[in-house]
Structure 1
C-alpha cells in the first residue's frame, strides 16, 4: 500500500475562525509542523499555506488550504496535480460531527457526510478514495444548527477532548506515512474504544 505524501488539514483562514471546531484539521497539521520546526509558506499556485517536511524518513507535503472550507478541493487538486500525488497518497484531516469529542477515526474513501470540504475535494480529485483522519467534534443535535456550531469555538471541556483526540492520533504518523494503515487503525480504534 502506498504511503502518504500529502497531509491536508482542513479549516478556514483568518483569526476569527482560528479557534472554531471546523479548524480541527488545521490544528493537527500545525502540531506536526511545530514538532518538526517546519514553517508554512503562502503558495499562490496551491491556494494555501504549505511546507515540505521530512517526517520519519518520508518527504511529505503539509497543506492548509486558504480558500475557505467549501473550496478546499481547489488547493488539494492543485498541489496533488503539480507533484503527481495520487488520491491514495493523500490524508485529509478534518472535523467530524458524527464522532464525539475525544474520538478520532482513520478510514479510506466513503461519502462526504455533508462536509463541504470533503465534498469539494472529492469533486476536484474525481474520486472519494483518499484517506481521512476524522477528529470528533460532536453534533449540536439539530441539523439546522450545524453551520453555526462548526463555526464557533467548543466549550472548554469539549476543546480538551478534541485536543486529546489530536494528541492520541499524532503518534500514528510513522505508520500512516509508511502506508501501514491496518496497524495505525488498530492502534487508534482500539485505544478509542477503551
Structure 2
C-alpha cells in the first residue's frame, strides 16, 4: 500500500525554516528520524520511506507554494496513489503555534498551496495535517509574518512538535484517519 505525504513550502534559502515552510520542516524531521534522504526529482524533492509493509512517498514540491497541485497530481498518477492515501502538511495561522490538527477534508482557508491542489485535483476531499503557526502579526502583515522565522521560544518546542507531527503521519498510514484524529486532535 502506497501513501503520498506532501509537505508544503517554498524552495530557496530565503524561505528555509520560515513559518510557511513548516510542511518541509515536518518531512525533513521525519526523514532524518527514519534515516532516509531526499532526492531532487521532477516537481520536487522525494524520499521513499518504508513503514511496516507500506510505502510512504515523501514529497517537498519544488514548484513553489502556489503551484503545489502540479507536483501532487504528478506523483499521484506516477505512483498510482488514490486520493484517500494522500496527506498534505500545511501551515495554519488560525491555529496557535504548535497545535496539530488532522482533517479528512476542508476548505483552503485562504492558503494558496491548498487552493492550487484543490483546483488541480478538482476536489477538497483530501486529508491535511494543519500545523499551527499562530497569528501574532499586525493587520496587513500576514505575508511578512508567514515568511518570517519562528520566535526563539517557538524554536525551543519545535523538535517535540515535529516529532509529534511525524507520529501523526505514521498513524495516518497505519491506523487510518479516524483513529489518528481521535488520538491526536485533542492534544
Would you call these one fold, judging by a TM-score over 0.5? yes
Q: CA RMSD in A?
A: 1.7
Gap change, CA 1:171 and 1:106, over 3 Å in 2: same
Comparing 33-42 with 103-112, greater Cα deviation is found at 33-42
Equivalent residue for 2:40? Answer: 42
- Structure 2 residue aligned with 1:125, among 89, 100, 121? 121
Matches within 5 A, 1:69-84: 69-84=65-80
Report SS of the residue matched to 2:129: strand
| Alignment equivalent of 1:33, drawn from 20, 31, 40 | 31
Is 1:56 matched with 2:52?
A: yes
Structure 2-normalised TM-score? 0.92
The equivalent of 2:81 in structure 1 is 85
Residues 17, 25 of structure 2: 8 Å contact kept: no
Cα distance per residue 1:68-117 (max 9 Å; x no partner) = 11111111111112222122110001111110002100001111001011
Give the match for residue 175 of structure 1: 171
State yes or no: 1:110 paired with 2:75: no
Residues 25-72 of structure 1: CA deviation (Å, up to 9, x unaligned): 00111111112221111112xx10111110232111000001111111
Q: Counterpart of 1:5 in 2: which secondary structure?
A: strand
Matched residue SS, 1:176:
helix
Give the drift of 1:141. 4.7
Which blocks of at least 5 consecutive residues in structure 1 are unaligned? none
Q: TM-score with structure 1 length normalisation? A: 0.89
Hey, what's the Cα distance between the residues in 2 that align with 1:161 and 1:120? 31
Mark the CA change 1:107 to 1:116 in structure 2 (over 3 Å): closer, same or farther: same
Q: Report the CA distance shift for 1:14/1:99 in structure 2 as closer, same or farther (over 3 A).
A: same
Q: Is residue 92–residue 132 contact of structure 2 (8 Å, CA) maintained in 1?
A: yes
Please tell me whether the aligned partners of residues 41 and 50 of structure 1 are also in contact (alpha carbons under 8 angstroms): yes
Query: How many correspondences in the alignment?
Result: 187
> Which stretches in structure 2 are left out of the alignment for 5+ residues?
none
